[in-house]
Structure 1
Amino acid sequence: MRPLLLTLDAFNTLFHPRHPIPTQYASSASAFNIPISSSALQPAFRASFKALSASHPNYGRDLALRGQYAGPRQWWEDVIRSSFARALAESKSKSNSKYHNSSEMEVPDALIEDLLERFASARGYKLYEDVGPFFRELRACREERRRVVIGVVSNSDDRISSVLESLGVSIDDARAGETGHKLLPGFEEQREKTIYEHRNASPGAGSSPLQAQKDVDFVLTSYQVGAEKPDRLIWDVALRKAQSLDNVSGFDAGDTEGGWERIHVGDDYGKDYRGATDAGWKAYYLARDDEAAAKAPEGTRTITSLLDLLLELEYK
């Protein structure tokens, strides 16, 4: 059988917020004696996220590469501060508000750190119920039947690995993007530096997907690559990454693009399904509720659980 490269989206495919994001922002704020409602934070967060996405796309990556921005950490700090500033400014007009001037609306640095940590871990997110059984079944199939490389491809910053590991998903230390050895400013900058230095000191130290038997062999984010789904570049980088891992493992290095079966699964029809199919991949649209399934255009390969994918692959 041809080797299989299977990639999965992360947010709303593998995991989802444990509680609505505005609710979690409000909960963290209450611990710092900042009384603000989730209903006030919801539109404020949406507006702040949209504004930063427009002014500093892809977590400010281009500016970060020029040394003019601190990358995702600064990006999310700006979103958080802006969200609270908007929400508190709206709330101060109410008679029961304790805030009367801008100086009283400063967001404590400790609150920023609390939220950054929360959304890098199981405090902020939860796995879908099918994810654990899916990886367990797939691991057994990889051992017995077929050479498979599994990746996570996400339009996100570099906290994805930390989130997944916090949720119990095991990940190989193979994290790389189009920049190769360049170490972008980010949440895992020091971790990436350590991995890179270790591999330079010990060439070939990367683990084999089959030997390690991790749930995920690599994580690829838009921030690392410099392109967001549905851009074809991110799919091309994912394939090159799989080929490089396969070469390290000692398998035939002569596989070309045509030698791999490439499948991507995600919950966003445009970015995941159309993006992958337009790049020449096979794709499955993961519709986790009836409404999403009903909106899928006719002919779309649709699944409602990751366990359905095992049936499609004849692994169950």
Structure 2
Amino acid sequence: MPLTAQFVRNLQRFRLVTFDVTDTLLRLKDPTTQYIQTAAANGVASLDRTKMELCFRQQFKWMSKKHKNYGRNTPNMEWQSWWLQLVAKTFNCVDANIPQDKLQIIAEQLLSLFRTSACWTHINCAAELVQCVRQAGKCVGVISNFDPSLPQVLSAMGFDKKFDFILTSYEAGVMKPDPGIFQIPVKRLQIAPSEALHIGNKFDLDYLGARNSGWSSLLVQSQPDPKLDTSSAAKYSFPSLAKMLQTLESQEFAW
């Protein structure tokens, strides 16, 4: 798609633009349904959906606290093991009588399934915005709190070769909003933090994480975070990527 002169001017100060992934570029379709359907295909039926959602949230919170960053710093724990344990704990929470051998099969199938296009959908205008940034001649990257399978997910969703680099928290060793993850790409590219822009959907992790690291940042949220400071941060927040792109293409933007 052709670039507008205004879009080029709005991004003129930046040499690097990075994106978050989950709920910024891509969205999970319906993970609870995937869990229930995969279980049913292996002979485990009639699982309560509400309880599944509650158990997943509880176990994800526990695993994230006990083994941070997908087990990155837990001795003898690979990221795959982190997910397998999470799935097993979730199903055990829903129904403690599920045989362990079936749990292992279900967990392994889900681990593979969530790295394919079956579980993800594109957010409107995500591909267009990434392409416009590329056409503007910027280095385009990903900074995401994710395990090392992220390149596989992005490739499956048609983002193959759309990014100059993909930096996961697992690779970085720290998670957003830690400044350490934002320091890595600017050091690699030998640019100033003020020449970098990050786009994400979390006020604390993406918006503040980037700004506290000396970057500029834009926020996309269909429902604004209550912590959003209307006197300053609000003007950098958009209800959708489509609105963000439209604004950058048509209006002068004051950073």
Matching of residues 133-148 of structure 1 within 5 Å: 133-142=128-137, 148=138
Structure 2 unmatched runs, 5+: 1-11
1:24 CA drift (Å): 1.4
Match of 1:204 in 2: none
User: In 1, Cα distance between the equivalents of 2:175 and 2:98?
Assistant: 38
Go from structure 1 to structure 2 and tell me whether the alpha carbon gap of 1:3 and 1:280 turns closer, same or farther (over 3 Å shift): closer
Could you tell me the percent identity over the aligned residues?
Answer: 27
Residue aligning to 1:152: 142
- 1:33-112 aligned at under 5 Å gives the runs 33-35=43-45, 36-64=47-75, 68-69=76-77, 71-89=78-96, 102=97, 104=99, 106-112=101-107
Q: How does 1:292-303 map to 2 (within 5 A)?
A: 292=224, 296-298=228-230, 299-300=232-233, 301-303=236-238
Instruction: Kindly state the Cα deviation for residue 58 of structure 1 after the two structures are TM-superposed.
Output: 1.0
Identify which of 104, 110, 116 aligns with 1:115: 110
- Aligned mates of 1:232, 1:150 — CA distance in 2: 19
Alignment partners' CA distance in 2, 1:86 and 1:294: 32
Structure 1 position 38, deviation (Å): 1.9
Name which of 7, 18, 39 aligns with 1:7. 18
> Contact between 2:124 and 2:242, CA under 8 Å: does it hold in 1?
no
Cα gap change, 1:141 to 1:308, in 2 (>3 Å): farther
Counterpart CA distance in 1 for 2:226 and 2:92 is: 39
- Structure 1 counterpart of 2:224, one-letter code: A
1:284 aligns with 2:218: yes
Q: Contact 1:84 / 1:107 at 8 angstroms: preserved in 2?
A: no
Aligned mates of 2:155, 2:168 — CA distance in 1: 16
| Residue 192 (structure 2) aligned to one of 245, 254, 257 | 257
| Greater gyration radius | 1
Distance change (3 Å), C-alpha of 1:103 and 1:155: closer
RMSD: 2.2
Higher relative contact order (CA 8 A, sep 6+): 2
Find out whether 1:161 has 2:151 as its counterpart: yes
Q: 1:6 to 1:107 in 2, by over 3 A?
A: same
Count of equivalent residues: 236
